[in-house]
Structure 1
Amino acid sequence: MAEKLASIGVPNAVRPTARRLAIWASLVLICLAAIASLMLMRGIDRQLRDVTDTYAVRTAARELTHALSQAEAGQRGFLLTADPQFLESYRRAVSSIDRRVNTLLEMTAGDAGQSARVASITGDLAGKMAEMARTLELATSQRGAEAQSLTETGMGARLMAEVSATLEDFIAEEDSKLEIRNRAIDQTRIGLVIALLAALAAAAILAYALLTRTQRQVSALAQKHLGLMSQNEALEAEVLERTRDIEEARTHAERERQRVEALLQDTNHRIGNSLATVSSLLALQVMRSRSEEVKTALEAARLRIHAIASAHRRLRLGDDMESASAEDFLSSVLEDIAATRTDGGRVELRGDIDPIVVSARDATTLGILVSELVTNAFKHAFPDGRKGSITVSLLRNADGVPTLSVADDGIGLDNGEAVRDDGLGSVIVRQLAGQFGGEPVYESSPAGGLAVSIALPELGRPAVAAAED
């Protein structure tokens, strides 16, 4: 049926609507079945009450007829035999007749026709009772002939026949009414049973429709679940493949980074070794030179070349291959400077360096600047085998600007003496400091020596910003 509807172009929305209407109709029928069941129970109760009431009325009418018959039998028996037992039976029957008539009147109070029938026999009953009472009175006063004559007139028999006929009609009417009510109730019962069966059928259809719908929904959910599982498996496979590719790419990148780092380190070592070779050649030249002035110039050049070589050898780049930690780098440079001195350890070299991140280019320049300042301090602050210490610090000031300080406790400056700024060392320091936007400041150290401080605002700037400058 669904295929036919689809073939003639009936919208799919019609089928859910029809299904909802069928469900509502089934629910209505179930409610009607419940109402019909209640009405059927009430009809059965009413029928039982009618049957009970009818049988009670019929029984009362029969008992009244029986009482009249007993009274008449007692009267005739006494007239024929003068036996007092018949008189006693008569009196018992007569004493119950009025009570039974009143009972009938009460039972038929709701039925005007039947109540009128009962009322109509009261006169006949009174006449019959009077006739029997007169007859017995004559018989007990030894006037039997008169009593016999009164009986033979037939008046009592006629009254008795009328009362009996009226009671029989009364009973027949009750039976007829009961039959009519039973027939109507039977028809109602049949209709209610049919309605109940229809409601049960509708309930069965409803249950089937709900079961079918539930099965379809469960099937649809199962299909969706299978679809989701398939999609989930596909996504997991794709994620696994992507993860594997990413791991491979990361491993390759790590290998490349290590290779580049090794190349850079090797390059720095080669440069450092080459410069160290130049420094050694200059040292040989110093030894072969006879002029003190030439020896001094060559020794100064050798020390500067050695400082540059040390800076290249000690440079350790970070993970980005573009920056280094000033703390690690300068500490290593200071160790190299201390190891190359020939003063026998009489001058102590100390360092206090913040972990400032600097670019590779700035690290080399900073190392040369520190080497120049420390070398100048070794050269001029401790003449004639004087002992002391040199402290190198690179800290951020209150404004966050990195500040390089090299202080010694040597001979310092005499009063009024100024630092010569036309010497080669001073020129190198000033030019290197200028690359970081700083200017060297010379002042007396609290320990009695000389302190050189240089604010380096350009130190630690990002490599991109430095390139743009």
Structure 2
Amino acid sequence: MAVGIRAVDGMSAVAEATEKSVEASLALRRSARRVAIWVSLGLVCLAALASLLLMQGIGRQISDVVESHAMRTAARELTHALSQAEASQRGFLLTADPQFLERYQQAASGIDSRVEALLALTADDPAQSLRVAGITDDIAGKMAEMERAVELARTERANEAQSLTQTGMGARLMAEVNQTLEDFIAEEDFKLAARNEEMEQTRIGLVVALIAALVAAAILAYALLSRTQRQVSDLARSHRGLLSQNEVLEAQVAERTHEIEAARAHAERERQRVEALLQDTNHRVGNSLATVSSLLALQVMRSRSDEVRDALEAARLRVHAIASAHRRLRLGDDLESASASEFLTAVIEDIAATQTDGGRIALSSTIEPIDVSARDATTLGILVGELVTNALKHAFPGGRRGAIDVRLFRDEGGTPVLEVRDDGVGMSDPAATDGGLGSLIVRQLAGQFEGEPRYESTTAGGVAIRIALPGLTGASQAQLEA
């Protein structure tokens, strides 16, 4: 019995020891994880601090390198300017060429400023500043000698100038200046090499610090993984919300697009209706005027007085021309303009079909496609009708045969020109019109386009009426722009 009790106690002790061992192992792992996290954070902070300090050092080193490069460049530019001034001065002394003088003056004018710039750059470097200050007087002496030699050469004392340059003093000064500047540049080159070595060492230290930071960051990545997963989940939910809103917006856009298309179709139907109404209105006006023309024709037949018959016939022809102009008017897509080619050709064909006495008088036309406003188109049609009617009435008396040609074109300056030419009996003096009603109407209609009719005799014996219409295109354009 005692042996069994001791066995049970031993097993219990072993279980307790095992449990304590497991708890100690878990506690050790938790402690190790905490230590690893804190060590990683410490390494990240130290690496960041080291990187910051190293970057500041690199910044200072870069600043020093830039400053050394600037001093080196300034010294080179000063050397080049002195050499350029000396070479140009010698060229001027030898050739008296003004180009050498100009180059000398350009080089000499910048030497003082270059010396001052170099002194300013070396203000923080006592050794280099002392070098530059030591050659300032030599440079001034050399420049004074060159200026004196140039002045002697300019005053035609070349021999004295040559004697001055042959003393050797200027050459010695120039040699000393060049040597000092070369020493200056060599010193800066040495500094650049040393600073480059320091930058290389700093770069190595920075790489080491960055590697340490990366290692520490890799340890912390596990701790941040769970947070990243939560953020991804939040983003997924936001994405689903955005998709839902996008679907709503697309539906609204589709609805709005449908409304716009419906409004556009309605506007197109309204435009077509307005166009049809305008065409119908012009046609009705033309028909009404044609009715008036017919009534005047009946009145002509009933009148017994030749004078009254002639007056009524002239009025009938003018009303008929206006009616034809309205019936033949076809507006463009903008409902504000018409093509003169299409419109006037139709008006002339209408006149030819009704007033040429069965083809006794041939009526032809050449009309360029000039766009005019609706108001100007009607007026232009009436003007053409009046000119053609006058030619039919006066140019071919006694059953005479002939031809009338109507042209509308642009002259060399781009101004529209209307010309009506016949081969009839002509006029004794084309410059002196009879002052009749027809001539008065033509002048008034032409005046609406800032034009004046000109009458000329043709080689065939007839009359050519030429009217420049500068206001025709301008008026139509102004209306279209408005």
C-alpha contact 1:421 1:427 (8 A) present in aligned 2: no
Q: Give the CA deviation at 1:339.
A: 1.2
Q: What letter matches 2:304 in structure 1?
A: R
CA distance in 1, matches of 2:252, 2:264: 18
Q: Could you say which residue in structure 1 is the equivalent of 2:320? A: 306
Q: Could you say which residue in structure 2 is the equivalent of 1:296? A: 310
Q: Give the CA deviation at 1:230.
A: 3.6
Which of these residues, 427, 431, 452, is aligned with residue 444 of structure 2? 431
Q: What letter matches 1:436 in structure 2?
A: F
Matches within 5 A, 1:10-89: none
Q: What letter matches 1:437 in structure 2?
A: E
C-alpha contact 1:272 1:309 (8 A) present in aligned 2: yes
C-alpha contact 2:337 2:371 (8 A) present in aligned 1: yes
Residue 458 (str. 1) matches residue 471 (str. 2)? yes
Q: Give the CA deviation at 1:437.
A: 0.9
CA distance in 2, matches of 1:299, 1:404: 25
Which of these residues, 254, 264, 273, is aligned with residue 268 of structure 2? 254
Deviates more, 1:444-453 or 1:333-342: 444-453
Q: What letter matches 1:402 in structure 2?
A: P
Q: Could you say which residue in structure 2 is the equivalent of 1:264? A: 278
Matches within 5 A, 1:52-451: 206-414=220-428, 416=429, 418-451=431-464
Q: Per-residue CA shift, 1:224-245, capped at 9, x if unaligned?
A: 5434434433332232222222
Deviates more, 1:354-363 or 1:444-453: 444-453
CA distance in 1, matches of 2:455, 2:367: 20
Bigger Cα Rg: 1
CA distance in 1, matches of 2:423, 2:38: 105
CA distance in 1, matches of 2:252, 2:39: 48
C-alpha contact 1:22 1:206 (8 A) present in aligned 2: no
Task: Determine helix, strand or coil for the equivalent of 1:411.
Answer: coil
Residues 216 and 446 (structure 1), Cα distance of their counterparts in 2 relative to 1, 3 Å cut: farther
Task: Determine helix, strand or coil for the equivalent of 1:405.
Answer: strand
Q: Give the CA deviation at 1:346.
A: 2.8
CA distance in 1, matches of 2:275, 2:441: 30
Q: Any gaps of 5 or more consecutive residues in structure 1?
A: 1-19, 30-201
Task: Determine helix, strand or coil for the equivalent of 2:452.
Answer: coil
Task: Determine helix, strand or coil for the equivalent of 1:384.
Answer: helix
Q: Give the CA deviation at 1:28.
A: 10
CA distance in 1, matches of 2:395, 2:40: 108
Provide the identity percentage. 71
CA distance in 2, matches of 1:346, 1:279: 22
Residues 203 and 334 (structure 1), Cα distance of their counterparts in 2 relative to 1, 3 Å cut: closer
Size of the aligned set, in residue pairs, is 279
Q: Per-residue CA shift, 1:194-239, capped at 9, x if unaligned?
A: xxxxxxxx99964533433443453354345434434433332232
Q: What letter matches 2:420 in structure 1?
A: V
C-alpha contact 2:395 2:424 (8 A) present in aligned 1: yes
Residues 446 and 410 (structure 1), Cα distance of their counterparts in 2 relative to 1, 3 Å cut: same
Q: What letter matches 2:419 in structure 1?
A: S
CA distance in 1, matches of 2:227, 2:362: 94
